Structure 1
Amino acid sequence: MRKVPITLEGHRDASAPLTWPQRRTWRGSRLKHRLCRVIPLPAGVTLDQVRGALQWAYQEFEALRTTFPTDADGVPCQKVEARGEIDISVLESGEDCVEADVDAVAQVFRRELHDPAVDPPVLFAVVVVGERPAYLVTAASHLALDALGFRVLRNALNDYLLLGAWKRPKGSSLQPIDRARYEQSPTGQEKNSVALAYWQKVLAACPHRDELSRAATMDSPAVRAAVAVLAKQRKVSTSIVYLAAVAVITGALTRRSAASFRAAASNRRDARERYCVGELVQFMPGLIEELDAPFTEIIKGAWEASIRGFRFSHYDEEALQEIFRELDGVELDFAYNDSRSAGQDSPVENSGDDLNCMDATRIEPVRGAFRTDSRFLSVIVRDGAGKEGAVLGVVVHDAYFLEIRVEQVLLALEALIVGAARGEAEPAEHPLRFTRAFLGERTDR
């Protein structure tokens, strides 16, 4: 790959403490590899146009040129310099090998160690086929970009290449430096106090955690179709339906009629935040107070808990960790992350015609289970391969449910969701009782 230099002329030199979301990322990912994504480029653009668009993006979005040095005590901050120079990579490819070349560039970016104190957080490589720029490979530190921030960047680059300007609402987008300064202001500190008080309220009734995990994933066309049916009926997102079902499973396993959870929150409320290229994601606390109810009511409870929790999803991460330390191991019942919300513009589910396709379900065990700070379960909803839609991943924590295989937990989720969508009396009207019986039957075999 050859290098093409870009000279940067930004608006300001600035520094600030890490934002609260960046502090969470710093604890777990400060020296990890960058995350890679591939952007197909519009037809008809030239290499000079792509270079100009990237120069504009580096200058427009401070997150792309922010470094994260530490002081003598190891405390990080974020630093933006107005002027500088950065190289983009250009790889000449051919029609018969372009996909392999794109994968190879992504692998190079993934293997390259990233030192946030000195290295640019976001890198670009242009893959050219003949004279035509075909793909833009991006590599970004999570300190700089969350998935929604990447979507903003992708859309802005497409606008710039096609229209010569970024098509967005009037006014400036939020910059991470400004978010950090807001968080240190009296208004930000008041918001933090309110959010932490709600976290403490939810945590008050939570149990402690042990340290065993088993994991598996499920690809079920029937579940995708059933979730789409229920979401349409109840006028909620598919994510809320999945959340409600996981809460029922948790209640069935723990023999309780309530479930607490933590879920990823985008923290993009107004236009400035929605168009922010940066890391804003934090976790929100939630409590679904009544699981011994019809599934439609549990869906409503999941929606209300999510709306309530989203109000308290912006807070000082270090202060929250102090609360957890004071509570000595107390944790929420389950962790929930619908990564589709960040990865695509509108999650696509299958049609109701697939409700009877339970024979097509594929369940696979997962080695090296992902850990989250939850007591019993961790669940992730992610995009499937190609156009297959959502795949459910579940991790069962602790030693309480050793008699229940992790695959059985996923089958219980499928039976509950599909049964409720079909209108079957027991899963629709008595989902908690149905799920307890389903897991009990599977345990006895």
Structure 2
Amino acid sequence: MELTSTAERRSTRSVTFTGAGERTGAMTWGQASIYSSIRWLGDDASYFNLVRVVDVPAGVDEGTVLGAVQHLLVRHEGLRSLFHETPEGWTQHVRPQGELTVHVADADGAADTAAARAFASELAGHTFRHDVELPLSVGVLRDHGRATHVVVAASHLAVDGWAADLVAQDLRRLLAGEVADAPTWQPLDQAAHEAGEAGAARGEAALAYWRRTLAAAPRPLFPPADPAPAPGRFVRLALESRALAVAATLVSTRCAVSTGTVLLAAASVVLGRLVGQDRVVLQLIASNRLDERSRSLVAPLAENALFAIDVSGADAPGGFATTARRAFASGLNAYRHAQYDPRARDELVAQERARDADLDLGCFFNDMRIGRDWGVDVDAYPDVDAVRALRDGTRVRHVGSWDRQDATCFVGVDDADGACVLYLMADTALVPEPRVEALLREMESVVVEAVAP
């Protein structure tokens, strides 16, 4: 992997590993789900890579850091696996032993968190060749010879957001000298469960739900768009707003739902306004971490959940509270039916499109906080006017642009120092870039105005 950086010096280290043994089997449903998108993006699949940055405690030397990376590879089979397309299907092959190149960057006097994040982003710019290389890149940032940060860039085929957090947590424990037994539930165990009786039954129930929900989906949300790529056609903007964090917290308490549900409701309302429809269908990203063994599994388990909501009446006095409660009920049902064989789901959608070519499933919503919330002091804002005033501090920035994406619009939620970060990626052939910013501010306004009694 070729890397370029403003860091003054670069070098590499080799980490060898020996795991429990060699294993081969089918991909999990979560792996197969993201692999479809990775194949579709091809050389641009680095878009899906996930990054994490871990501080190295004072006094921990570079040898200990490399040892932690070695233990990480031994503990988690998905991080030392290759992935193949075979006549029998999509498979994963756990390597029993091997070597990982660790990239070392010296940023003497400037090895801070910002530099570490830039290093991680640089590593994440690589599109993994999953059939011949491990789905993981690791870097060590140093300041005058002392390791200050470990940065990780992993393919989405090896981790989802939850699993990436597990990797970071493991690294912190390993750097602190804590070494535990490897998890007993690994990706191939998950794949075997999905193929078994209980897993198959859950998958069939999910597909039945999709079939029912698709039959009632509105046609279409957006008019047909030119499928040909165009330079920078898909843009992603981010709105950073303390007003939205405060407002979502206040409204969630009043409605007895999560802040994520409040934002999902707001996104649905604004999308409904945009397309002029009262019924809105989105695909939600479901973590599918339903039990202890799945919550400790380093592998992508996330799949799409099909969400449909009636947003009529949302603009009436008190109407948004009703919409938020509808979003809670509909979201719960959608997440309950988000474990299935994605190839069977794709076949079902294709059958539905054969009956109705206008079926539109191009809009997505993803709360990336995974249980985190903003922790804002809402008592400091006694009324809606106080919350409105916070909008003076709202900022919108350009995140990136791409020639093609497999979504029409994608709303994402994250946090940053007591503020809500709301992302919107959109196809500018359908939603011009100035309108993308306006939609983000409209989502903020919907939630802020819902604070009023």
If the TM-score is normalised by the length of the shorter chain, which range does it land in? Answer: 0.7 to 0.9
Q: 2:265 aligns with which of 231, 237, 244?
A: 244
2:328 & 2:184 partners in 1: Cα distance?
29
Q: RMSD value over aligned CA atoms?
A: 3.1
1:244 & 1:95 partners in 2: Cα distance?
46
Change (3 A) 1:265 1:113: closer
Corresponding residue for residue 125 of structure 1: 139
Identity of aligned residues (%): 25
Q: 2:450 aligns with which of 407, 417, 420?
A: 420
2:401 & 2:98 partners in 1: Cα distance?
44
> How far does the alpha carbon of each residue in 1:190-247 deviate from its partner, in whole angstroms, 9 at most, with x for none?
1111101101111112213522788654334322321121122233221100111122
> Matches of residues 149-160 of structure 1 in structure 2 within 5 Å?
149-160=163-174
1:345 & 1:173 partners in 2: Cα distance?
27
2:322 & 2:350 partners in 1: Cα distance?
35
1:367 & 1:50 partners in 2: Cα distance?
35
Change (3 A) 1:225 1:185: same
Corresponding residue for residue 278 of structure 1: 299
2:424 & 2:403 partners in 1: Cα distance?
10
> Matches of residues 284-295 of structure 1 in structure 2 within 5 Å?
284-289=305-310, 291-292=312-313, 294-295=319-320
> How far does the alpha carbon of each residue in 1:37-72 deviate from its partner, in whole angstroms, 9 at most, with x for none?
32212222222222222111111101110111233x
Change (3 A) 1:252 1:130: closer
> Matches of residues 62-81 of structure 1 in structure 2 within 5 Å?
62-71=77-86, 73=87, 75-81=89-95
2:114 & 2:272 partners in 1: Cα distance?
47
Corresponding residue for residue 4 of structure 2: none
1:101 & 1:145 partners in 2: Cα distance?
23
Instruction: Check whether the contact 1:173–1:276 (CA below 8 A) recurs between aligned residues.
Output: no
> How far does the alpha carbon of each residue in 1:233-278 deviate from its partner, in whole angstroms, 9 at most, with x for none?
2332211001111222233344444332210011111111111111
Q: 2:422 aligns with which of 391, 399, 410?
A: 391
2:120 & 2:362 partners in 1: Cα distance?
37
Residue 104 of structure 1, CA deviation: 6.3
Q: 1:42 aligns with which of 44, 54, 57?
A: 57
AA aligned to 2:324 is I
AA aligned to 1:238 is T
Corresponding residue for residue 203 of structure 1: 214
Q: 1:357 aligns with which of 386, 390, 394?
A: 390
Residue 415 of structure 1, CA deviation: 3.0
Residue 331 of structure 1, CA deviation: 2.6
Corresponding residue for residue 191 of structure 2: 180
Corresponding residue for residue 331 of structure 1: 360
1:395 & 1:134 partners in 2: Cα distance?
37
1:107 & 1:253 partners in 2: Cα distance?
34
Instruction: Check whether the contact 2:239–2:421 (CA below 8 A) recurs between aligned residues.
Output: no
Corresponding residue for residue 229 of structure 2: none
| Pair 1:305-2:314 in alignment | no
1:52 & 1:247 partners in 2: Cα distance?
47
> Matches of residues 308-319 of structure 1 in structure 2 within 5 Å?
308-319=333-344
Instruction: Check whether the contact 1:221–1:355 (CA below 8 A) recurs between aligned residues.
Output: no
2:293 & 2:245 partners in 1: Cα distance?
33
AA aligned to 2:31 is Q
Change (3 A) 1:62 1:226: same
**SS, match of residue 176 in structure 2:** helix
Change (3 A) 1:195 1:97: closer
AA aligned to 1:198 is Y
The number of residues matched between the two structures is 412
Give the TM-score taking structure 1 as reference length: 0.82
Q: 1:9 aligns with which of 11, 14, 18?
A: 18
Bigger mean CA deviation after superposition, 124-133 or 47-56: 124-133
Unaligned runs of 5+ in 2: 1-9, 227-232
1:237 & 1:22 partners in 2: Cα distance?
28
AA aligned to 2:391 is M
Instruction: Check whether the contact 1:195–1:315 (CA below 8 A) recurs between aligned residues.
Output: yes
1:53 & 1:367 partners in 2: Cα distance?
36
1:193 & 1:340 partners in 2: Cα distance?
29
Unaligned runs of 5+ in 1: 424-445
Change (3 A) 1:107 1:64: same
Corresponding residue for residue 29 of structure 2: 20
Q: 1:87 aligns with which of 101, 120, 123?
A: 101
Corresponding residue for residue 431 of structure 1: none
> How far does the alpha carbon of each residue in 1:16-49 deviate from its partner, in whole angstroms, 9 at most, with x for none?
1111121222122245334433221222222222
Instruction: Check whether the contact 1:381–1:393 (CA below 8 A) recurs between aligned residues.
Output: no
Give the TM-score taking structure 2 as reference length: 0.80
Q: 2:130 aligns with which of 92, 113, 116?
A: 116
Change (3 A) 1:60 1:410: closer
Corresponding residue for residue 443 of structure 1: none
2:251 & 2:166 partners in 1: Cα distance?
30
1:186 & 1:373 partners in 2: Cα distance?
33
2:67 & 2:111 partners in 1: Cα distance?
26
Corresponding residue for residue 230 of structure 2: none
> How far does the alpha carbon of each residue in 1:269-322 deviate from its partner, in whole angstroms, 9 at most, with x for none?
111111111111111112224633622222111111111111111111111111
Corresponding residue for residue 5 of structure 2: none
> How far does the alpha carbon of each residue in 1:386-429 deviate from its partner, in whole angstroms, 9 at most, with x for none?
65432342637886x89x94444334323321111122xxxxxx
Corresponding residue for residue 254 of structure 2: 233
Residue 101 of structure 1, CA deviation: 6.0
> How far does the alpha carbon of each residue in 1:327-381 deviate from its partner, in whole angstroms, 9 at most, with x for none?
114134842122233xx8444557435432334444567754874556xx54222
**SS, match of residue 421 in structure 1:** coil
Corresponding residue for residue 6 of structure 2: none
Instruction: Check whether the contact 2:139–2:152 (CA below 8 A) recurs between aligned residues.
Output: yes
> How far does the alpha carbon of each residue in 1:137-166 deviate from its partner, in whole angstroms, 9 at most, with x for none?
212111001111010111112122225234
Change (3 A) 1:412 1:180: same
Change (3 A) 1:397 1:7: closer
Q: 2:151 aligns with which of 128, 132, 137?
A: 137
Residue 79 of structure 1, CA deviation: 0.3
